[in-house]
Amino acid sequence: MTSIISFYSRFKDDIRAGRKTITIRNEAESCYQPEQVVRAITNPEEEEIATLKITHVEPITLDQLNEHHARQENMPLQELRELIPQIYPNESRFYVISFQVTD
């Protein structure tokens, strides 16, 4: 059975085009492992985006986010640092999940 990872709909074109190559998740969503193949879908529509291969998972804090992460997310660093706490309020430890599109 293939695992699923969901993304907001606004990210689907960036994922498909390879412009977004990481996602930052909280501990509850940090279960992905390198080499794992997952099905990416939109949230909440559940539209198929692509099949992804997880390449790396590493812990991170908001303060450690840098321009490299922002480029991988395809957004400005300031926007990234504001977005993560909106999605995960009252959390301080996160995980950078790197991936590549396989199809």
φ/ψ of 85, rounded to 5, equals -65, -25
d(CA 38, CA 36): 6
**In the chain, where does DSSP find H-type helix?**
12-16, 67-73, 77-87
**Residues labelled as active-site residues:** 20, 23, 73
